[in-house]
Amino acid sequence: MRLIFAGTPDFAVPSLRAAAQRGEVVGVYTQPDRPAGRGRELSISPVKREALLRGIPVFQPENFKTRAAREALRALQPDLMIVVAYGLILPQSVLDIPTYGCWNVHASLLPRWRGAAPIQRAIEAGDAETGVCLMQMEKGLDSGPVLLQAKLAIGDTETGGQLHDRLSELGAEVLGDGLGLARAELFPRPWIQPEAGVTYAHKLDKAEARLDWSHSATALANKVRAFNPWPMADALIAGERVRIHGAIALPLEHRAEPGTVLLAGRDGIDIACGVGALRVRVLQRDGGKAITAADYLNGRRDLIVARGA
């Protein structure tokens, strides 16, 4: 099969490798090179880097609004286009070009968590499981028929970054299975997503990473996990704003004002929440690196004094 692959970030790289093993990838589409880092030098996407290593032609249109962009895709005579975290919403005029349309690898159990940030939203919501769907794309946002699905359990302490990596590999496996069936002319039988259970995983925003101590400890612990490594939760601890890399919820009853330091020691810093307490284990001061709570307390002896008061 003549395959087109469209993707941009690290998440999509294992799927590109799976596609290259199962068919002839005649072109890779990825986002244009963007300025990155302190020097703001142009940086290529992880997918582009992988494609260049494999000698696959790379295309980087800003969008497909022009006829020239669509005709360039059509000239590749694709049987199937595979889309994994590409970063563009494809119009129907593009979806109709490949003989068998476009497949999408999506990191959730559809119809739950359609949209931009399904991995983080699943953790933030406290979901016990998630997975990957291989979907036939249509005009709606992640609303197309599902071809294949695989599930996995979310670990109690798993971060957004850790779950991202596991789902990236699982997505490649599911895609490989789908392409294997297609090569044998046994295309997966699609099932239509039900209307019940539709939720949307809205794009992450730095502003929502700021913790509000009036919320429950469980909700805050989930947010800390979900937003690691980006945008990383931050909060005020005894007057200092820090980033929180690791924390757990404690079912602790108290009458303290939310945000009050209840206990500070080698095991962590226990902070009163609207319900329960959040034990902060790993944190980062402004301009510093991530350190344990015990190391942080070496420079915040005032917290230990407050504990004994």
Which residues carry a binding-site annotation for (6S)-5,6,7,8-tetrahydrofolate? Answer: 108-111
Handedness of CA 270, 272, 273, 276 (dihedral sign): positive
Which residues carry a binding-site annotation? Answer: 108-111
- 119 close to 229: Cβ distance less than 8 angstroms: no
Is the link from the previous residue into 258 a cis peptide, with omega within 30 of 0? no
Q: Kindly state the tokens that stand for 38.
A: 């302190």
Residue 293: CA count within 13 A, CB half-sphere: 22
Residue 17: CA count within 13 A, CB half-sphere: 15
Q: Kindly state the tokens that stand for 223.
A: 């947010």
b/e per residue 51-88 (b: at least 16 CB within 10 A) = beeeebebbebeebeeeebbeebeebebbbbbbbbbeb
- Tell me how far apart the alpha carbons of residues 19 and 5 are, in angstroms, rounded to a whole number: 8
